[in-house]
Amino acid sequence: MTFWDFCSPVYDFAQKRNANYEKWNNLIVDYIDEDTHVLEIAAGTGEISIRIADKAKKVVCTDLSEKMLKVAKQKAAGKANIKFQQADIYNLNFNDSEFDIVIASQVLHLLGNPQKAIDELKRVCKDKLIFPICLTKNIKGFAKFQVNLWRLLGFNPKHNFDEKGYLDFLKQHNLKISESILIEGSMPIIIVICKK
């Protein structure tokens, strides 16, 4: 059992401990155009995919963890325009430029080979890539305690970012940043929009 399988029953509870969680999800929805086909990679329990399904024409919600996807499917009951699929970020089973928008939330910091993943995300994207992430570098207090607790349970990020570090990281991996939105807080969140 992977860490993500293990935490799937409590993942939503943990995410909602971040005071910025609702604002973050609502902002992402604002960047989804109507009549678009959207792919979400590493969707976890599908919170973003489910929200944008009310606006997008078609949403494909993917994760590596089958248990995360099981929770997502239960939450999305009744939404006909959302499909769930297990997917490996390094080897996506989709056509070139198949999706208008690709969202990869909270995943790039976990990867041993982010360039390979980014190249694959760009390949399947036609227009816009969205990269939201919690900024865990230099956090303090209860937010730091939460991250350290997740680490004890098996959470193993390869990178920890502050705002500048994340933006530099994306630029170093050949992404064209068109906009970034920082949401301040005890655990800040940044949403970065890139053009293909």
Q: Is 164 helix (H, G, I), strand (E, B) or coil?
A: helix
pLDDT at 181: 96
Q: For the chain (length 196 residues), average pLDDT per consecutive 10?
A: 81 75 88 95 96 96 96 93 96 98 96 96 98 92 86 88 96 96 92 95
The structure's pTM equals 0.93
pLDDT at 88: 96
Tokens 């995300």 — which residue?
121
Q: Is 25 helix (H, G, I), strand (E, B) or coil?
A: helix
pLDDT at 76: 94
The full set of domains in the chain, from first to last, is 3-195 (3.40.50.150)
194: amino acid identity, one letter: C
